[in-house]
Amino acid sequence: METIELLYLRHHKADCIAIQFGNIASLNNLVRKIKGIKWSNTENCWYLPLTETNYILLTNKLSGAANINNSHLKAFLEKRKRLSVVALSDQPKSTVKRKKPVSSTSPVWQLSDENILALDQFMQQLKLKAYSASTIATYRNEFIQLLKILKTKPVDELTADDLKRYMVFAMEKEGISENTAHSRLNALKFYFEQVLGREKFFWEIPRPKKAKQLPKVFSQDEVARLLNNIKNKKHKVMLMLAYSAGLRISEVVNLKTNAIDSKRMTIIVRSAKGKKDRLVGLSPVMLVMLREYAREYEPPKNGFLFEGLTKGTAYSIRSLQEIIKLAKAKAGITRPGGVHSLRHSFATHLIEKGTDVTMIQKLLGHNDLRTTMIYLHTSNKDLLKIISPLDDLDLT
């Protein structure tokens, strides 16, 4: 009996099943009648999209007509299943119905078995330490950048000198920024110290000095113009909340309906950055808008205040970022900044109104007062009192 090979094929940017066999007319006639089958001139074979349904269809149709050799395809599927353990979605679990299989074009596909195991251990330890989803995603991506460079060299064999050379390469050849360099070092430090239990040798690796950039801030007039150019009530209320209480974008979309306390005029922000809860004030204007929003959208009492497209899931961060981008364009605001700039603007405008900086620290949920002090540099309260020497000149 003739043999038909079922192989993995990457074709037209999609994962496919290639069907290969000798020049046998009877088999060719049988295969060409299979539903959805296509011929590739470049690969010189029949193929179908790689799905479980298509695999079952092929085996049912071809069984009895030929021996089926699926070892190549099976090896591919086993590797993909193994890699799915260390794959991490960009979206929180609550917004993902089903995790997509790892693509063969993914960076993790090129890793050696030893380094795939290292990545798996790295991910497990991050989850055991209960790091946030965003931190896990950042650390994972930074760790993978090193693993891609190593190819077959095991990552656990690297020394402090190896890591120094790698960081120089990453900054000079790859051109990573100072902030990215800090994130990458943090990820590597976690692996060698927390996963492998090595001695703390990362003090030997100098960290690049971060650029001291001021937060991007909108004026109060710009905030008003931005909000006035949003007609959808749900979108408007979300951005108003970010500004009125200095919330992060993740805090806005993950806010629960029962976090709003209209009697005490407070909002409780649960499990914010650093897994901390904090209490912020509820603006009377904001309360009116929230009540109007609730009457129109009827959010669940114990669920997300702002649900996404799928009932019971949080609103998409990416969608909210796109909303403010469109609102800025309509308002004619060219100043850089997104949703997080509303939080920066909240703090800056409070300082300009004379609010004590330690109170702002509590409202923003900062551990270190120095983090909050940067908003002193974004305020123009004291600058307005300074008279430029240019104003004293007698110019004609």
Catalytic annotation, residues: 248, 273, 340, 343, 366, 375
Q: Which residue has the tokens 């110019």?
A: 395
Quickly name the fold that domain 3-77 has. MutS, DNA mismatch repair protein, domain I (3.40.1170)
Instruction: Kindly state the average pLDDT of the residues 7-28.
Output: 91
The helix or strand, by DSSP H or E, that contains position 275, with its residue range, turns out to be none
Residue 209's DSSP bridge partners are none
Reported as a single tens digit per residue, the pLDDT across 322-370 is 999 999 999 999 999 999 999 999 999 998 888 888 988 888 888 888 8
- The CA distance from 10 to 33, in Å, is 22
Supply the mean pLDDT for the chain. 87
Residues of the chain with CATH 1.10.443.10: 220-376
Instruction: Answer whether 186's CB lies under 8 Å from 177's CB.
Output: no
- Secondary structure (DSSP) of 321-387: HHHHHHHHHHHT--S---HHHHHHHHHHHHHHTT--HHHHHHHHT-SSHHHHHGGGTT--TTGGGPP
What per-residue confidence (pLDDT) applies to 87? 57
pLDDT band (50, 70, 90) for residue 143 = very high
Residues of the chain with CATH 3.40.1170.30: 3-77
Instruction: Answer whether 263's CB lies under 8 Å from 276's CB.
Output: no
Assigned CATH class of 85-95+102-204: mainly alpha
Reported as a single tens digit per residue, the pLDDT across 246-299 is 999 999 999 999 999 999 999 999 887 777 889 999 999 999 999 999 999 999
CATH architecture label of 220-376: Orthogonal Bundle (1.10)
- The CA distance from 193 to 156, in Å, is 11
Q: pLDDT: is 385 or 81 the higher one? A: 81
pTM: 0.65
Q: Where are the beta strands (DSSP E) in 21-98?
A: 38-40, 45-49, 67-69
pLDDT over 60 (residue 88): no
Reported as a single tens digit per residue, the pLDDT across 123-133 is 999 999 988 88
Percent of the chain with pLDDT over 90: 56
